[in-house]
Amino acid sequence: MKLALAYLLLSTLALANGAFAQDPKTLRILTWDGYVPADVAEDFRKETGIKIQVTLSGNEDIIARLRASAGAGFDLAQPSQDRITGPQQQYRIYKPIDLTRIHTDRFLTNMLENVKSNTTVNGKLYGVPFLWGAEGLAVNSRRAQVSDYLDLCKPQLSGKTALRLRRPTIIAFAFAMGKDPFALYADPKAYGKMLDEVGEQLIACKSHLHFFFDAAGEVQDAMRADKVTAAMLWDSATWDLNRENPYVRYVNPKSGSLAWLMTFALPAQGQNDDAAYAWINYTLRPDIAARITQSTGNFTATKGTLGLVDPRLKAQFFESFPEGVNNLHWYPSVPAGIEDMEARMLLRVKTAQR
């Protein structure tokens, strides 16, 4: 709330001074670190004459900024697909996307359909796919064998495993316990019961963990130092470790990796839609998409890129996901109130005695 109020004050002052007057040759993107590689942005400028101005952000910050300004100040935003429908219904911070202005034939069909199903509000589409990744298990295969998330709680691995105390861990443990948390979103009472069960499992697991970590770099360093043998971790962060140590591998858990998908969305009062659509279409070129994949370590939703990326990265992908993208759980839209319930449960786990 304080963050939203701060943005509201700044936005009001900026509007009063005409600070949002837009240069048609500047594209203002609200996005995550690394999603607009500098060399790709420069080539786009040379080709189109449009300069990209990047503001780094994340899901919560994107919502707070656009809510405070009523969708002004940026021409393009990149929330994850599960964070569009709810904020749009509550705050109307986005404008509909015109698919006729996008080369939709270049999208991987399943990715586009996935985003359509999660970002359509009252028959209007508010997002298209950009980049995706998965969160599963990283393991030093010389030290241990793991096949699912609950293996991180095994007594024989005590002191050598790590988790984040965040909502993805809740979702992962629920799937590993034979539940379908996404199917329970529509039933808060049932979801609360599930949270209690998962919370008890996490509390029991605490004594076997080396630590709860916040950033990928923390657990990467711990694995390099042989302090952690296995952890719940993202695919690209694990592939970084694998390039240093071939025994560290990404394991797609039996109960399925958790898959996130970043999008392109148009802020409600963005002033340069032409530039926004030009950038979206530029990133859909297979050669450009491959460069973005190489830079970020995550694959885009564009067809025809696998043959253009570094062979090592391609090999890591197929080793990690031999069955393709079939054993993945894509995050759906998060209903209002669910994250508050999760936050209360995570606080109980955090404060419980180990």
Same domain for 7 and 126, yes or no, is: yes
* Predicted local distance difference test score (pLDDT) of residue 323: 81
Same domain for 254 and 191, yes or no, is: yes
How many structural domains does the chain have? Answer: 2
Beta strands in the chain (DSSP E): 26-31, 51-56, 76-77, 94-95, 120-121, 124-125, 128-140, 161-163, 209-212, 230-234, 248-251, 257-264, 266-267, 299-300, 328-330
* Predicted local distance difference test score (pLDDT) of residue 24: 76
Same domain for 181 and 115, yes or no, is: no
* Predicted local distance difference test score (pLDDT) of residue 43: 98
CATH code (residue 162): 3.40.190.10
* Predicted local distance difference test score (pLDDT) of residue 6: 52
The tens digit of pLDDT for each residue in 202-254 reads 999 999 999 999 999 999 999 999 999 999 999 999 999 999 999 999 999 99
Same domain for 67 and 110, yes or no, is: yes
Residue numbers of the domain that contains 181: 133-258+333-351
Kindly give the parts of the chain with pLDDT less than 70: 1-22, 354
Same domain for 264 and 250, yes or no, is: no
* Predicted local distance difference test score (pLDDT) of residue 2: 52
Q: What is the CA radius of gyration of the chain?
A: 21
For residue 32, give both structure tokens.
């995550």
Predicted TM-score (pTM) of this structure: 0.88
Any domain includes 297: yes
Same domain for 123 and 179, yes or no, is: no
Same domain for 337 and 215, yes or no, is: yes
Same domain for 221 and 340, yes or no, is: yes
Q: Which residues pair with 95 in a beta bridge?
A: 266
* Predicted local distance difference test score (pLDDT) of residue 325: 79
Any domain includes 326: no
* Predicted local distance difference test score (pLDDT) of residue 13: 43
* Predicted local distance difference test score (pLDDT) of residue 354: 63
Q: Which residues pair with 22 in a beta bridge?
A: none
Any domain includes 47: yes
Collapsed DSSP state (helix, strand, coil) of residue 263: strand
